[in-house]
Amino acid sequence: MDARIDPAQLFDLAPGDAHVLRNAGGVVTPDTRRSIVISQRKLGTRTVLLVAHTGCGLTSFTDEEFRTELQLDTGLRPPWSSGAFADPATSVASGLRALRRDPFLMPGTALRGYVLDIATFALAEVAEPADSA
């Protein structure tokens, strides 16, 4: 979601090369999974790259803090989670596990995760723990 990041430039993509889904924190949500499955099943996508970045705003609060803030402001508690996390690499690894376990993703989908250093724009690949497959 961070406007400083241009996925086309980051991955040297031309128009039409990729379907890019953006959300706060790069968190794998039910809607993220829905969109990936549609992209795969109807448009032929076979590779998924999950990218989070350093200095992400979702590391600056907890889900509970945000829910409470919203409740105090609106009188309502949201039924959804913000997806806040302490460490982008841990969040990416968790997202990769969620995608790998999704029964609707195409078998053999290539899943890779990265953390982008927002200061240098260097990508560090996140290895999914071996016991999570």
CA–CA gap between residue 103 and residue 93 (Å, rounded): 18
Total count of residues recorded for the chain = 133
- Predicted confidence at residue 129, as pLDDT, reads 63
Q: Which two tokens stand for residue 98?
A: 């969620």
Question: Which amino acid, 87?
Answer: D
69-104: per-residue pLDDT in tens? 999 999 999 999 999 999 999 999 999 999 999 999
Domain count across the chain: 1
Helix, strand, or coil here: 62? coil
CATH of residue 57's domain is: 3.40.1050.10
CA–CA gap between residue 132 and residue 88 (Å, rounded): 18
- Predicted confidence at residue 133, as pLDDT, reads 47
19-31: per-residue pLDDT in tens? 999 999 999 999 9
Question: Which amino acid, 122?
Answer: A
CA–CA gap between residue 130 and residue 115 (Å, rounded): 19
Domain contains 133 = no
- Which residues span the domain enclosing 119? 7-126
Tell me how far CA of residue 88 lies from CA of 13, 20, 37, 103, in angstroms: 24, 19, 24, 25
